[in-house]
Chain A
Amino acid sequence: MNVLALDHAAVAVGGRTIWADVTLRVAAGEFVAVLGPNGVGKSTLLKAALGLVPTAAGRITVLGGAPGEQNARVGYLPQRRSFDPSARIRGVDIVRLGLDGDRWGLPLPGGQTARAARERVAEVIDLVGAAGYAGRPIGQCSGGEQQRLLIAQALIRRPDLLVLDEPLDSLDVTNQASVSALIRDVCRTQNVAVLLVAHDVNPILPYLDQVIYLAHGGALMGRPAEVITSETLSLLYGTPIDVLRDRNGRLVVVGQPDAHAEHDHR
């Protein structure tokens, strides 16, 4: 069953069409990257899937319903830089808000529900390996630590689809690799489909089942080996791009614009 399906879908923001006639399928448990140059509507694709941006034409189906209908089963990590160093709230509180932050009523510390909630929070924090720093104010955690906590927050309701907007941005190379591996593990062991927007495809390239390339107001989807070729990428970006193989036979994309440009200013 498809967790996400777009049929000739189009999205417009402020009267301007971002992309149109996009048809694609994401199956359960697949790891899919959304790639493309700046401003082509990668984040908009995620927002359209969440129902935060209306569909202008065609149809978008998420977990069998209209966008937004099944959001309780979707874990979302929005694009953001990081929490302010002075942010005085613990990582564990941020994770907990993902569980019941949208519920009205006075949260009482006693009782069965509260205990179950605490256990689930501890479980998911263990899953992402954040137990060592979840009790610290989140502003004092490093970028990689914050990203792990936010992934835990997105996972806490056992979603079927994880929607991650540039989770690797503003991380150093080591953390990019370890957070990528964490997302891959979560995808495989929890059988969660992952839709991940990335600037730089290299850290996640070995793990991908499918890639979606957005460019020129449309989209292209396929297996990495089919899409990630010098010809296709050069055409999509409108600038020469090389796809090389390293000594282990892994693909490496070279010359991809904007791959690192965003990391300098925050």
Chain B
Amino acid sequence: MSVAFSWNLVDDVQQLLSYHFMLNALRAGTIVAVVCGAIGYFMVLRRQSFVGHTLAVIGFPGAAGATWLGISTGFGYYGLCVAGALVIAMLPGAGRGGTGLGGAGEESAVVGTVQGFALACGFLFVTQYKGFLSGLTGLLFGTITGVSDTQVIVLLISGVCVLAVLAVGGRVLLFASVDPDVARARGVSVRLVGTGFLLLLAVAVAGASQITGSLLVFALLVAPAATAARLTARPGAGVVLSVTLAVAVTWLGEALAFFTPYPIGFWVTTLAFGAYVLATAAQTAAQRLGRRVVIA
């Protein structure tokens, strides 16, 4: 394909949208970004980033296994991520993020053990399926070209489901995450809410993995949410900001990947990282300034 970037941006966008694969990449990317931005906000708030990462890694043997068996990788991602979430929820001492914002998570060792095992299985499946090595990069780091119409529809359905559940249960989830003891006294089943959240996270991660690959899910899941948390302490604004950032870095990243020889995963991750660094700098500056004003 011959694409050239010009400084006529309208022309560039038209050029970009004239390719069906780019259209699908944008559709899929947008759905994934909205879902990851929203669910990521709660994941960061609950300090369950490591669990999110592990679910993403668990998706890798799922996809590799599916390829080895000759079925669609989507089955592998969704199947294993959801199964992984259930296993993590049942493990003693794990899946209980939201032990209060004051408490330290105790789940990392257990979850880390699961993650190691998942990676090993994924590697086994890859070695069993000869001639798969080029696909391996796609599974781990994502690819811009591979999104089919069916995949977009599946992503849309799963995304709408995740967002609907989040809209209905978001307030209870926030309560159970920030203040589990009081929530429990108010009749909220904190454990059940925690398991429900892991399932939502699993579906979101499985969807995102298909676009960004298992290892770069984090660009969309953590970075926008962490950036939003730096910029606002209001839960509603935080979710909106996180979603906006995720969509922005996805669109920009996909456009940059289209016009440059560098892969999409690199661009999306770099943009998300850049936004986080800027937000951290802004927050630090604001705090310094605030302190100086107080002293003066």
Q: Which residues on A are within 8 Å of B, measured CB to CB?
A: 50, 52, 68, 71-72, 74, 76-78, 80-84, 87-90, 93-94, 97-98, 100-107, 109, 136-137, 139, 153-154
Contacts and interface: CB of A to CB of B under 8 A. Distances in A.
Contacts of B175: 97, 101-102
A105 B45 contact: no
A81 B101 CA distance: 10
Contacts of A81: 102
B102 A103 contact: no
A71 B187 contact: yes
Given A88-B233, A89-B233, A80 B100 contact: yes
Given A83-B102, A139-B101, A153 B182 contact: yes
Interface residues of B, number: 30
B45 A101 contact: no
Nearest to A97: B175
Contacts, number: 92
A90 B234 contact: yes
Majority DSSP secondary structure for residues of B touching A: helix
A103 B233 contact: no
Contacts of B45: 88-89
Contact of A76 (B167, B185, B188, B236): B185
Given A89-B45, A89-B178, A71 B185 contact: yes
Contacts of A68: 187
Nearest to A102: B186
A101 B185 contact: no
Contacts of B235: 89, 93
Interface in B39-97: 45
Contact of B186 (A71, A87, A104): A71
B180 to A, nearest CB: 9
Given A80-B102, A101-B182, A102-B186, 11 more contacts: A81-B102, A82-B102, A84-B102, A88-B230, A89-B101, A98-B182, A101-B174, A101-B183, A104-B171, A107-B170, A137-B233
Interface in B93-123: 100-102
20 contacts: A50-B185, A71-B187, A88-B229, A89-B101, A90-B234, A93-B235, A94-B179, A97-B171, A97-B175, A98-B182, A100-B171, A101-B171, A101-B175, A102-B172, A104-B172, A105-B168, A106-B167, A109-B236, A136-B233, A137-B233
